[in-house]
């Protein structure tokens, strides 16, 4: 079980990650520019109303990040991480070309019908087909690429562990610097030139990045897929249910595990933990079993893998709301900016480019964090990352609540200025306060979660677990869409005007500030739950965080070993390896032979 790594000592490291950084940067450059601009594209070109444009964008992001699980599952089970990135990268380029064609051809634009959505027929099919193909390609990449880059380092080496912590910081730095270019250069093309030209630039950048990723193949440590992680989880759950009436032994060492000799040629062994004891029943060896069949008994390590994933769930759940707040910065905050003064002196700044302020701040802060704060914190805490992953996430959740509070205040100032006689427009740069605070929050939380899920995950589930970071993003965006609809439905009934807080197309007639403050209050409540979940979480022992590759064996020697094992198996009445004996069954036979000797 687990990743089989080719040429561990000769390949990998930051030299190989350079190609990963180039691809992630060029891909993210277009993705971020598209993401913060498409709400205006949907509203102005596709003729959605305010809530419709917002929900279409958040549903797109939600689907994208949900599909990260597909990329993680495929790369853990069927294809290598490298091949998975190439396939989904190709789909992403194809989808961007389709979006470019629709933006260019007026025949593929719907007429303005005055409804929440004017799309129908073939135009709607093309629009949603290209949009969600883009979502599929982006999701598969994001679910695989961070783990692919992290796999270039050997966690078993102390230097490798420190390099891995630095890798996640540099990964975010590469995507942040690229995002700066995206929200200035590509957004400028969107707003001042044409939508189709902006999509075309994104397509070309993605294609160049894909070529760069492929060019680095000779330097990569290629992680080959193993046994399906979902099957292993299912086995534990099924066997635990089957054995629910059995009594657990007083000594956990009596639970089934492969022996030390057999383990030396396989992957990691995770020691027993006392949490979720009901799952331990999956490791009870049936008395009527002569061999350890996969769906009849599971190893302690396999049970502990499921326990690790279970312990991760409260952490995952308590970060969803922060990503709901993130969705507002890409929807309502952009709409806010469209009603503000976009001039900085004589320069007109596109509304969608305002996130460049926190991105520039993060581009400066990340190197300072990596080269100054982390070494200083390491001397105090002894932790490779300076502070733990969950501490980083906690800082981000606090700042997220502060950001929504500030966003509500800025909206009050903006709307009060507009309601003066004559109406006034405050500067677009008032939005920089909420963006900067949230940018710092995202820096701490996103990379903290990526590193947390990757390092804590069992060896054969690292890509799938890394995609949990994006699963939190997905649920956050879907929750945003749900909140918008629920808030509108509830406030229509209780407000004197019988209008929802977020109704219609005119933001000046809405109460977006109340929506921001609602999110701030819920974020504080969520923070309390997170603190409890983080205190309850039990980290996986450090000596179990490593991928332990199988030693190479000469093919003839391997065949001779199998023949010897089969001979012993036949001698004591068991089936041969050709009849389906797996490693667990051989362990049982080995113990029988040893006891009779």
**pLDDT tens for residues 442-457?**
888 888 888 888 888 8
CB 90 within 8 A of CB 210: yes
Structural tokens at position 459: 């060896």
Distance CA 320, CA 471 (A): 9
Q: How far apart are CA 96 and CA 33, in angstroms?
A: 13
Confidence band of 528 (pLDDT split at 50, 70, 90):
very high
In this prediction, residue 97 carries a pLDDT of 93
Round to whole Å and give the CA distance between 89 and 81.
12
pLDDT-derived band of residue 397, with 50, 70 and 90 as boundaries? very high
pLDDT for 80-94, tens place per residue? 888 889 999 999 999
Residue 348, classed as helix, strand or coil, is: strand
CB 323 within 8 A of CB 476: yes
pLDDT number for residue 326: 81
Distance CA 14, CA 219 (A): 10
pLDDT band, residue 259 (cuts 50/70/90): low
CA within 13 Å, CB half, 357: 16
Give bridge partners of residue 347 from the DSSP assignment.
344
The CATH number given to 4-225+306-544 is 1.20.1250.20
pLDDT of 461 strictly over 70? yes
* Token code pair at residue 29: 């450059």
Q: How far is residue 155's CA from residue 36's CA, in Å, rounded to a whole number?
A: 36
- Whole-model pTM: value is 0.70
pLDDT at 541: 64
Q: Mean pLDDT across the stretch 169-179? A: 88
Alpha carbons 219 and 147: distance in angstroms, whole number? 16
Over range 103-110, report the average pLDDT: 84
CA distances (Å), origin 229, targets 54, 155, 284, 309: 36, 21, 21, 11
Q: Note if the bond before 263 is cis, omega within 30 degrees.
A: no
For 318, the 3-state DSSP assignment is: coil
Between CA 181 and CA 201 the distance in angstroms is: 12
Residue 582, pLDDT score? 36
How many CB atoms lie under 10 A from the CB of residue 170? 20
User: d(Cα 397, Cα 75) in Å, to the nearest integer?
Assistant: 30
Task: Provide the pLDDT for residue 51.
Answer: 74
Instruction: Tell me which of 550 and 342 has the higher pLDDT.
Output: 342
Instruction: Say yes or no to pLDDT of 510 above 80.
Output: no
Question: What is the predicted pLDDT for the residue at 559?
Answer: 42
Side-chain-side CA neighbours of 314 within 13 Å: the count stands at 17
* Phi, psi dihedral angles at 17 (to 5 degrees): -70, -20
Q: Give backbone dihedrals phi and psi of 5, rounded to 5 degrees, phi first.
A: -110, 130
Query: Taking all residues of the chain, what is their mean pLDDT, rounded to a whole number?
Result: 78
CA distance 116 to 526: 32
The yes-or-no verdict on residue 228 having pLDDT over 80 is: no
For residues 188-214, average pLDDT: 90
Of 17 and 386, which is predicted with more confidence? 17
Q: At residue 418, does pLDDT exceed 80? A: yes
Whole-number pLDDT of residue 115: 67
Tell me if residue 224 falls in helix, strand or coil. Answer: strand
Radius of gyration from C-alpha coordinates of the chain: 27
Work out the number of other CB atoms within 10 angstroms of the CB of residue 330: 22
Average pLDDT over residues 227-243: 83
Give the residue with greater pLDDT, 412 vs 337: 412
Percent of the chain scoring above 90 in pLDDT: 12
Q: Quick check: 565 and 20 in contact, CB under 8 A?
A: no
- Is pLDDT above 70 for 466? yes
At 291 the pLDDT is: 67
Comparison of pLDDT for 310 and 344, the residue scoring more: 310
Q: Where are the domains of the chain?
A: 4-225+306-544, 556-597
In Å, how far are 75, 270, 452 from 311, measured between CA atoms? Answer: 23, 15, 12
* DSSP 8-class letter at 341: B
Q: Are the CB atoms for 206 and 27 separated by under 8 Å?
A: yes
Q: Please indicate whether residue 6 or residue 284 has the higher confidence score (pLDDT).
A: 284
Cβ pair 319, 432 in contact under 8 A = no
Name the token pair of 567: 């001979």
What is the pLDDT confidence band of residue 497, given thresholds at 50, 70 and 90? Answer: low
């Amino acid at each position: 079980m687990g990743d089989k790594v080719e040429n561990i000592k000769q390949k990998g490291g930051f030299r190989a990650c350079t190609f990963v950084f180039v691809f992630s940067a060029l891909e993210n450059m277009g993705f971020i520019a598209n993401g913060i601009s498409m709400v205006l594209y949907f509203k102005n070109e596709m003729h959605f109303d305010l809530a419709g444009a917002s929900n279409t964008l958040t549903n797109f992001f939600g689907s994208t990040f949900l599909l990260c699980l597909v990329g993680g599952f495929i790369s853990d089970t069927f294809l290598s991480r490298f091949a998975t990135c190439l396939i989904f990268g190709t789909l992403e380029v194809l989808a961007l070309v389709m979006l470019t064609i629709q933006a260019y051809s007026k025949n593929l634009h719907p007429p303005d019908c005055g409804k929440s959505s004017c799309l129908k027929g073939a135009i709607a099919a093309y629009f949603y087909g290209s949009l969600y193909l883009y979502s599929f390609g982006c999701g598969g990449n994001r679910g695989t690429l961070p783990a692919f880059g992290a796999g270039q380092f050997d966690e078993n080496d102390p230097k490798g562990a420190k390099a891995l912590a630095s890798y996640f910081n540099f990964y975010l730095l590469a995507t942040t610097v690229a995002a700066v270019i995206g929200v200035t250069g590509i957004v400028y093309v969107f707003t001042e030139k044409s939508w189709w030209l902006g999509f075309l630039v994104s397509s070309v950048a993605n294609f160049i990045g894909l070529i760069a990723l492929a060019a680095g193949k000779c330097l990569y440590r290629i992680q080959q897929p193993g046994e399906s992680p979902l099957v292993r989880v299912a086995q534990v759950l099924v066997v635990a249910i089957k054995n629910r009436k059995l009594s657990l032994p007083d000594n956990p060492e009596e639970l089934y595990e492969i022996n030390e000799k057999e383990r030396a040629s396989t992957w990691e062994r995770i020691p027993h933990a006392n949490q979720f004891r009901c799952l331990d029943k999956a490791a009870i060896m049936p008395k009527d079993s002569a061999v350890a069949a996969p769906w009849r008994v599971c190893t302690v390590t396999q049970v502990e893998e499921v326990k690790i994933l279970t312990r991760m769930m409260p952490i995952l759940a308590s970060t969803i709301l922060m990503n709901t707040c993130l969705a507002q910065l890409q929807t309502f905050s952009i709409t806010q900016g469209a009603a503000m003064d976009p001039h900085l002196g004589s320069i007109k700044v596109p509304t969608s480019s305002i996130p460049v302020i926190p991105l520039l701040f993060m581009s400066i802060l990340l190197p300072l964090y990596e080269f100054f704060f982390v070494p200083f914190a390491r001397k105090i805490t002894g932790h490779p990352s300076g502070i733990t992953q969950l501490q980083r996430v906690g800082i981000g959740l606090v700042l997220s609540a502060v950001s929504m509070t500030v966003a509500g205040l800025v909206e009050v100032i903006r709307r009060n200025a507009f309601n003066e006689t004559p109406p006034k427009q405050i500067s677009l740069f008032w939005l920089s306060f909420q963006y900067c605070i949230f940018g710092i929050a995202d820096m701490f939380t996103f990379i903290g979660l990526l590193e947390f899920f990757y390092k804590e995950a069992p060896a054969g589930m690292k890509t799938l677990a890394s995609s949990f970071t994006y699963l939190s993003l997905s649920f956050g965006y879907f929750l945003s869409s749900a909140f918008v609809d629920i808030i509108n439905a509830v406030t229509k009934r209780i407000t004197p005007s019988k209008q929802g807080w977020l109704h219609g197309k005119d933001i000046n007639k809405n109460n977006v500030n109340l929506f921001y403050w609602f999110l701030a209050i819920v974020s504080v409540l969520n923070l309390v739950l997170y603190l409890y979940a983080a205190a309850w979480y039990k980290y996986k022992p450090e000596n179990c965080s490593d991928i332990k590759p199988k030693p190479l064996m000469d093919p003839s020697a391997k065949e001779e070993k199998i023949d010897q094992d089969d001979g012993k198996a036949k001698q004591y009445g068991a089936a041969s390896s050709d009849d389906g004996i797996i490693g667990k069954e051989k362990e049982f036979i080995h113990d029988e032979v040893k006891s009779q000797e």
